[in-house]
Every structure is written in structure tokens, then in C-alpha cells.
Amino acid sequence: MNSIGHFVSNEHWPGTTSRVASITNPATGGEIGKVTLASKADVDSIVQTAADALPAWAATPPAKRAMVMFEFRDLLKKHTDELAEMLSKEHGKTIPDAKGEVARGIEVVEFACGIPHLLKGEYSEAVSSNVDSFSVRQPVGVVAGITPFNFPAMVPLWMYPVAIACGNTFVLKPSEKDPSVVMRIAELLVEAGLPAGVFNVVNGDKEAVDALLDHPLVEAVSFVGSTTIGEYIYSRSTANGKRVQALCGAKNHLVVMPDADMEQVTDALIGSAYGSAGERCMAISAAVPVGEETADRLVEALIPRIQALKVAPYTDPSSELGPVISKQSFDRIHSYIDEGLDKGAKLVVDGRNVNLQGYEDGYFIGGCLFDHVTTDMSIYKDEIFGPVLSVVRAGSYDEAVDMINAHEYGNGTAIFTRDGDAARDFWARIRVGMVGVNVPIPVPVAYHSFGGWKRSLFGDHHIHGMEGVRFYTRLKTMTTRWPSGIRTGAEFHFTGGKDV
């Protein structure tokens, strides 16, 4: 049985506590390992290690930091199959899904390889007589990352490669539900040449999280997870003077215009609503067809495709839909389905009765499709985080836009149409951070930035891309004058460019 502690100063460390949590294989419901839960004292020790490593790493030339990232990228590519297998065993997602997750993480590492260029400042000569001005970006310090179970490899890789390339040291608190892949990737960072103490992993629960949020040596906190927790992390961290980026919950809509290619729409919804069992913040969970005729065609096209989804553990190469992460998630998703039925929504595809021989205790839920969902229902308002798609019929395009803009979340959305005017109007008017046009999951590439609006984001910065560089650095601007042999006398006023 696998036993996981922490990763500190380039070594595995068991910690000082006896508190542990079970790691479960969601396909069987059986325990496959244990993970140590850190105490406040453990967190203090790990943060101090990161603080001790900071001066030397911050002083390392960006080009040398980039060389570590190049080596790290190559190792991640080499070990993708191993990492995907490890990830799927603890999370439950299919192997192709897990490989795709690792690949999207590698993209951010590749972005971080360009850090010498990304950290270039600005220079202005002669802003006044014999006065020049220039700016640089310097590391923030010790940074903490708190990441969710649904992307145990990718989401941390969206954080720490950029952070450490910028010259910071990092303490990662991953989900205790699937921590193994993080620990293996930490070993690869050591192999890539990262100095001891620059990247550290502390496993734990709320006690560890609170210790990070309160620690005086932690300068910034990056978080991905639910809105409830994200708001808590933002409030507590900012009260302690830390900068925060907290990427939170979502309810992502896909608008289907009457002119859309229905086959393309159906393919898009099958992948975006049911991939990774719906356990991703960019999953499409609300399809919004415009007009009754469009809605009828959409539902008719979706039903056989959802019914045909292959539900199986990741060990089956033909699996399209694996289990959800835990019994708690399994029960919560079922309760939402029950509540949707009680409120009058029509469950046209019911995936609750999955029974796989040999996996009777696994957390499998087949694809579910609700029709005639209204905006006052919990299955519309809340993030279910499971393989449940709701069809919310809109009478007009404007009604669809207003519906999305009225929702408390603004993470991602999409429109499917052949009409360029409609598409442009949609992305211009919609109050959502990431928008797709005939693209169902508009996750930006690594050199752009990922993040939502409204209650999907707390803080001013999105993640990775240049927004990540800005979050993990502080801007410093210098104004200089060197003796020129010309004395102009004392100045008692602000000297600007107009005084040249």
C-alpha cells in the first residue's frame, strides 16, 4: 500500500504527525494508500526551508532558471505514460484524458522556458535633463499553491513553473485525494536540476491550508477550487497582507444558435459535458438552444450519443467515462439529480443505474441529460461537478445572453453558430472570462491567461501566461541621474518631461 508524506528540500519527508487520510481507487472504492496530514509545525518547517532557499534562487540568472525548465519539460514528456497511469489510478479519469492533462501542463512549462524574455523591463532615456527611467520585475518571495483533485498534475503545473522561473520558491498543497502524481513530478524537478528547497510539497487538510494562509513568510497564494473555499482563502490571505489569485466555481453555458451545425454541437457537448466525468471547472453543464425547434433537434441528437457512452474503469482502453472521485461526490451528484426531478425537470437520459461486474463498489455514474430545466432550479444554479448536462431552452438570442450574464459565475462559455455577426456580438457582450466560438472548452493556450469573471475569480490576476508572470513578480521602477559636471541648483518641485 502506498504511503505518502511530504517533499522538502528535494527529499521525501514523513513529517512529524500520525494523522493520515486514505487514498481510494474510485473505480473499486477500495483503499490503495495513505497520505500524511501536516501539522502547523510541519508547515512552518517547510515554509522556512523555502524561505532559506529564496535568496540564492532569486539571484540565479533567469537564463539558468530557464535551463531547469527545459530539462523539466523533456522529463515530463519522457514520463507522460507513467504519470498518466498514476493519475488515473487515484482520480479515475481515462488514460487519454490523463495524458491530455499532462500535455496541457507541459505547455505552461514550455512558456516558462521563455522567462528571460518575459522578465524584460522597460527603459526610457532622458525623461528629464540627464535623467533616465527603467523598470524591472523581481520575485515576490515564498509562494503557496493550493490545488484541487480534478487536475492533480495540470493545475499545479499552471502555477509553480511560472512562479519558480520568475525566481520565487514554492510550497504546494495538493489535494489529499490524489497526491501521488505530484510527488513523482517533484522527483522529476530534482532530476532536472532544481536546487533544494525551491519546490516543496506539503500534504494536508484545512490545518495545513490555514497555516499557509497565516504564515508571515508566505507572500502570495495561488488557488484553484470551489467558490466557497476560494472566497475563504482570498479573505483570510488578504487580511494577512498577501496577494491572492483564487480561481473558483463555474457554470458554463453553450449557446446553440438555429444555424449551428448540429453534428458539431453534439460532438462538442459529449466531450465537454462528460469528459473527465464532468469533474472540471471548464465542463459545459448547461446547453442553451435558441428556439424550440433547435432545442428539440439538439435533445434528439444527444440522447443516443449519451446512451452509447462506454462507462468503465481507466484500465479498459475503450472507456469514455470513468468514476467520480469519491463516495461523497457520488452521493452529492445523485442528490442533485433527485432534486432536479422533484422540481419538474425532465430526465431524458438517466445514468444512475450503472452496474459494472467486479466494480460494484466503484463511484460510477453514467451520462445524465435533463431537459426543460429552468433558471430557478439548483441543477442550473449550482456547479454539480459530475456527468450531468442540463438543456435550458431560450426563446431568443438576447434571452440566452441575459441568462448567462445574470448567473453568479463567469468562468467559461461558448456559442455555436455560422453567423459571424452573432459570434462577435456574443463575445463582446458576454460577462464571462473565457469565450469560445464553435469551441466548447475555451481553455487558453499557455501563453495566454486562464481565469473567469464575477464569483469565478477572487483577485486581480488570471493564471499562467503574462498574467501569471505579473502575479509572481513585483514591478520596480528606477529613476537615475548621474553627475554630468553641470550644476542646476536645488529643485523644489516635481521634474517631469515637460521640464526638459
Q: How confident is the model at residue 496 (pLDDT cuts 50, 70, 90)?
A: low
pLDDT tens digits, residue range 396-418?
Answer: 999 999 999 999 999 999 999 99
Angle CA(162)–CA(164)–CA(166) in degrees, nearest 5?
A: 70
Q: Evaluate the CA torsion angle 191, 82, 31, 224 in order and state its sign.
A: positive
Averaged pLDDT, 177-194: 98
What pLDDT does residue 500 have?
Answer: 43
What pLDDT does residue 499 have?
Answer: 47
DSSP state of 459: S
Averaged pLDDT, 363-383: 98
The one-letter code for the residue type at 204 is G
What pLDDT does residue 484 have?
Answer: 72
**Exposed (0-12), middle (13-18) or buried (19+): which is 227, by Cβ within 10 Å?**
buried
Q: How confident is the model at residue 203 (pLDDT cuts 50, 70, 90)?
A: very high
**Helices (runs of H) and strands (runs of E) counted in the chain:** 16, 23
Q: How confident is the model at residue 1 (pLDDT cuts 50, 70, 90)?
A: confident
| Residues annotated catalytic, as ranges | 281
pLDDT tens digits, residue range 211-228?
Answer: 999 999 999 999 999 999
Nearest to 290 by CA among 412, 403, 421, 389: 403
Q: Mean pLDDT in the chain?
A: 95
- 20-26: list long-range contacts, CB under 8 Å, 24+ apart: 21/176, 21/205, 23/90, 23/176, 23/177, 23/178, 23/179, 23/180, 24/90, 24/177, 24/326, 25/89, 25/90, 25/92, 26/90, 26/91, 26/92, 26/322, 26/323, 26/324, 26/325, 26/326, 26/362, 26/363
Q: Supply 128's cell numbers.
A: 528629464
pLDDT tens digits, residue range 190-200?
Answer: 999 999 999 99
The one-letter code for the residue type at 9 is S
Q: Note the CATH architecture for domain 2-248+456-477.
A: 3-Layer(aba) Sandwich (3.40)
> Does residue 346 register a pLDDT over 70?
yes
The one-letter code for the residue type at 215 is H
| E runs forming strands in 335-462 | 346-349, 368-371, 388-391, 409-410, 412-416, 434-437, 453-454, 457-458
What pLDDT does residue 491 have?
Answer: 66
> Does residue 485 register a pLDDT over 90?
no
Averaged pLDDT, 118-138: 93
**pTM (2 d.p.):** 0.94
Report helix angle 154-165 to 95-112, nearest 10. Answer: 10
Domain 252-437 has CATH 3.40.50.300: no
Q: How confident is the model at residue 486 (pLDDT cuts 50, 70, 90)?
A: low
Q: How confident is the model at residue 483 (pLDDT cuts 50, 70, 90)?
A: confident
pLDDT tens digits, residue range 36-86?
Answer: 999 999 999 999 999 999 999 999 999 999 999 999 999 999 999 999 999
What pLDDT does residue 487 have?
Answer: 62
Cβ burial 18-48 (10 Å sphere, 16+ → b, else e): eebbebbbbbbbeeebbbbbbbbebbebbbe
Q: Count Cβ atoms below 10 Å from residue 17 Cβ, excluding itself.
A: 16
Boundaries of every domain in the chain: 2-248+456-477, 252-437
The one-letter code for the residue type at 388 is V
State the Cα–Cα distance between residues 381 and 454, nearest whole angstrom.
14
Question: Percent of the chain scored above 90 by pLDDT?
Answer: 94
> Does residue 431 register a pLDDT over 80?
yes
Work out the end-to-end distance of the chain between its first and last CA atoms, rounded to an integer number of angstroms. Answer: 73
pLDDT tens digits, residue range 293-319?
Answer: 999 999 999 999 999 999 999 999 999
User: 245 - beta bridge partners?
Assistant: 222
> Does residue 492 register a pLDDT over 70?
no
